[in-house]
Amino acid sequence: MWLPTSAVCEKGSTPKIEPYPGIYRIYDIAGKLLYVGRSKNVQKRLQQHFNGTTHTALFCKNMHKALITYAKHLGQDINLRKAERFFIQKTKPLYNKKCVNQDEELSFEDLLDYAPEVRFFNAISKLIEEGKAYLMKMGDYEEKEGCLIGYEDNKYYYLLPKVVFPQVVLFYEEKGEEFDLTTRALYKSLAEEKLILSKVENGTLRTTLKKRIPGRPETMTRLLFVPKKNNRGFVI
């Protein structure tokens, strides 16, 4: 089940987790979801979990990492208690799935409307629909009105990272809204959710990959590789 990731915390490490309200998911080393929780201060709460000073004694030995989603990345109107309940219902974590009452449902769309990844792709679709931006087909290279934000072929959208992000920010500014993630945080989250291709080079996560653009100068260009078949069903 997809949920935007704001930060990652591994047991024994000292990551930069902010003392903000949010939802957290705890996994074992094999990637099995053990527990979903909420807190007004996820930094403090996760320290308690990893130190074994909470009710997590049953599974504290198996905890390996936690994924954190700050409330601000779900939207100000999201009720954390309802969000926690929703994700427990849908993902059925090993150690708290039996605690869920089924009498209070939260639509997944209520959360998705606020998720930065969804807002990112929605903005791109709207920009193209309104003729303010366009994607150039590989092998075509017909220039159109609007801003060129990338290329596409049968398998991928290849977005120009230094172009598409400012266009998305401007799109929301013109609507009187904010898009408050940095490029680094957004692209990292897209990679973690497998919405873009990525790889590790010399211990560093690369969210933009090199590609030659046929018909263009013979230089390698760093692009965001967005699979047209992805786990969220996004279509630009």
Quick: pLDDT tens for 54-107: 655 556 678 888 888 887 777 655 677 777 877 787 778 887 755 554 444 545
- In 3D space, the residue among 54, 65, 71 whose CA is nearest the CA of residue 9 turns out to be 65
| Domain co-membership, 92 together with 152 | no
Distant-in-sequence, close-in-space partners of 143: CB < 8 Å, separation ≥ 6: 136
- Tell me the two tokens of residue 162: 């230094």
215: domain range?
Answer: 116-227
Give the chain's domain count: 2
Are 223 and 145 in a shared domain?
yes
Q: Does the residue 205 lie in any domain? A: yes
d(Cα 46, Cα 58) in Å, to the nearest integer?
15
CA pseudo-torsion sign 229, 231, 235, 236:
negative
pLDDT score, position 103: 45
Do 124 and 223 share a domain, yes or no?
yes
Residue 236 lies in a domain: no
Q: How far separated are the first and last CA of the chain, in Å rounded?
A: 21
Give yes or no: residues 188 and 99 share one domain. no
137 within domain boundaries: yes
- Answer for the pair 113, 77: CB distance below 8 angstroms, yes or no: no
Same domain, 148 and 75: no
On whether the CB atoms of residues 38 and 83 are closer than 8 A, the answer is yes
Q: Which of 107, 136, 152 is a domain's end point?
A: 107
Of 77, 107, 137, the one marking the end of a domain is 107
Calculate the dihedral angle through the C-alpha atoms of 213, 214, 219, 224, rounding to the nearest 10 degrees: 10
Q: How far apart are CA 51 and CA 64, in angstroms?
A: 12
Say whether both 15 and 103 belong to one domain: yes
Q: Are residues 92 and 17 in the same domain?
A: yes
Residue 178 in this model has a pLDDT that exceeds 80: no
Q: Please indicate, yes or no, whether residues 34 and 122 belong to a single structural domain of this protein.
A: no
Burial class (CB in 10 A: 0-12, 13-18, 19+), 142: exposed
Q: 129: which 2 tokens?
A: 């629909």
Asked, for residue 2, whether it belongs to a domain, the answer is no
Can you tell me the mean pLDDT for 193-209? 89
pLDDT category at 226 given cuts 50, 70, 90 is: very high
Q: Rg (Cα) of the chain, in Å, rounded?
A: 20
Q: Which percentage of the chain shows pLDDT scores above 70? A: 79
d(CA 103, CA 82): 11
Strand 156-159 relative to strand 147-152: parallel, antiparallel, unpaired? antiparallel
- Which of 56, 86, 107 is the endpoint of a domain? 107
pLDDT bracket for residue 19 (50, 70, 90): confident
Q: Which residues in 2-17 are b (16+ Cβ under 10 Å) and which e?
A: bbbbbbebeeeeeeeb
User: What gap in Å lies between CA 90 and CA 158, rounded to an integer?
Assistant: 32
Same domain, 135 and 201: yes
Q: How far apart are CA 126 and CA 236, in angstroms?
A: 9
The answer to whether residues 200 and 208 touch, using CB atoms and an 8 Å cutoff, is: no
Q: In CATH, what number is assigned to the domain containing residue 97?
A: 3.40.1440.10
Among 13-17, 40-44, 47-51, which range has the highest average pLDDT?
40-44
| Residue 235, in any domain of the structure | no
DSSP type of residue 155: S
The answer to the question of residue 233 being in a domain is no
